A = this chain, B = another copy of it.
Amino acid sequence: MRGVVMYGPGDVRVVERDEPHIVEPTDAVIRLTATCICGSDLWPYRGAEPADGLPMGHEYVGVVEEVGSAVETVKPGDFVIGSFVISDGTCDICRAGYPSRCVHAQFVHGTIGTQSDRARIPYADGTLVATPGMPDDDLVPSLLAASDVLGTGWFAAVAAEAGPGKTVAVVGDGAVGLLGILAARELGAERIIAMSRHADRQALAREFGATDIVEERGDDGVARIKELTDGLGAHSVIEAVGTQESMMQAIRSTRPGGHVGYVGVSHDVQLPGDELFFSQVHLHGGPAPVRRFLPDLIDRIWKRQIDPGKVFDLELPLADAAAGYTAMDQRRAIKVLLRP
């Protein structure tokens, strides 16, 4: 089968990979209907993480072709969505709502790699969720978004305790930040401030529920958030970048007692203990426990209540994956959908 492999910074190729098959009784093998390129794939693409023959892709929707003898909740022919982290669904950590840190957790990125024709998904019962039936084609991008960017934005909004009466600020205008806005709106936030300086992303932010746009960054951005919130800061701040500047911008934009939900994969970040101490914010984040939210997210998409698939502004055949990476790297696309 074909699969995308990254051989070094800027070097992604569609190559021939081994066909997946059932190894463990808890496995499923799926045929990908759609997959995509993630903002986090740009870290190794830009040389910020090693990439020496890395199977790429961790977002996926597809049709089950085969299941192991122990799989109970999905069957051949089902249309399924899975999380970007494999999880058994039964350990204490999964049951507490953190499948992203399951005792059997495995990142799909770099191991399975779902920018491919097919994939073996371990712990299928704990990782995959089937849709109520075969989706209309126009729902596929939104269902695919649930696999990571929507689930991650949703987790960030939940971690930031977005909800009724709350002012939510969002640091980062990539797909995750934009879907954090959508999540905050769905969770009932009163006011949602998007921090963005790109017109196209600002437009999508407003469409997803942003009530205010702040173009300033860093200390100036913090000052603007304070101005908009009686000098106190936002109740809830979503961080969806992962740099030192974005983390400090998020922490400093949050009022004392408020909540920072951070999901940008942390790179070269050191949080000063004394500032964090006196900020008195709540800090929670990490790899999103997407599987926890999938049933609810699928339901909202199925009822056409939300349309997170709008973050995909470029669609390419899998064979042209390299062009998709280039488009995202150059910020010509927010997010690229790949069709095997």
Instruction: Please tell me the size bucket of the interface on A.
Output: 35 or more
> A331 to chain B: closest CB distance in Å?
24
Instruction: Indicate if the CB atoms of A273 and B280 lie closer than 8 Å.
Output: no
Per-position 1/0 for A86-111, Cβ under 8 A of B: 00000011001110110100000000
Interface members, chain A 240-282 (any B CB < 8 Å):
242, 244, 247, 255-257, 262, 265-274, 276-282
> A49 to chain B: closest CB distance in Å?
11
Known A98-B256, A256-B98, A257-B96; judge A287-B282 contact (CB<8 A): no
Which residues of the partner chain B approach A272 to less than 8 Å between Cβ atoms?
Answer: 269-270
In the complex the two chains form, what is the Cα distance from A285 to B274 in whole Å?
11
Query: Given B92, B277, B286, which contacts A285 in the complex, CB threshold below 8 Å?
Result: B277
Instruction: Indicate if the CB atoms of B286 and A278 lie closer than 8 Å.
Output: yes
Instruction: Indicate if the CB atoms of A271 and B271 lie closer than 8 Å.
Output: yes
Q: Does A230 reach chain B (CB closer than 8 Å)?
A: yes
In the complex the two chains form, what is the Cα distance from A287 to B247 in whole Å?
21
Instruction: Indicate if the CB atoms of B284 and A277 lie closer than 8 Å.
Output: no
A263 nearest CB neighbor, chain B only:
B277
Instruction: Indicate if the CB atoms of B284 and A283 lie closer than 8 Å.
Output: yes
> A83 to chain B: closest CB distance in Å?
14
Instruction: Indicate if the CB atoms of A266 and B276 lie closer than 8 Å.
Output: yes
Per-position 1/0 for A282-301, Cβ under 8 A of B: 11111101000000000000
Query: Given B93, B257, B274, which contacts A257 in the complex, CB threshold below 8 Å?
Result: B93
Instruction: Indicate if the CB atoms of A273 and B268 lie closer than 8 Å.
Output: yes
Q: Does A232 reach chain B (CB closer than 8 Å)?
A: yes
Instruction: Indicate if the CB atoms of A278 and B287 lie closer than 8 Å.
Output: yes
In the complex the two chains form, what is the Cα distance from A287 to B283 in whole Å?
15
Which residues of the partner chain B approach A282 to less than 8 Å between Cβ atoms?
Answer: 282-284
Instruction: With a 10 A CB-CB cut-off, give which of A273, A279, A289 has the most chain B CB atoms.
Output: A273
> A284 to chain B: closest CB distance in Å?
4
Known A93-B232, A97-B257; judge A265-B286 contact (CB<8 A): no
Known A232-B92, A232-B93; judge A274-B269 contact (CB<8 A): yes
Instruction: Indicate if the CB atoms of A273 and B271 lie closer than 8 Å.
Output: yes
> A72 to chain B: closest CB distance in Å?
25
Taking Cβ atoms with an 8 Å cutoff, the residues of A that contact B are 92-93, 96-98, 100-101, 103, 230-232, 242, 244, 247, 255-257, 262, 265-274, 276-287, 289
- 7 extra A-B contacts, CB within 8 A, seeds A269-B274, A271-B271, A271-B273: A92-B255, A242-B277, A257-B289, A277-B286, A280-B287, A281-B284, A283-B283
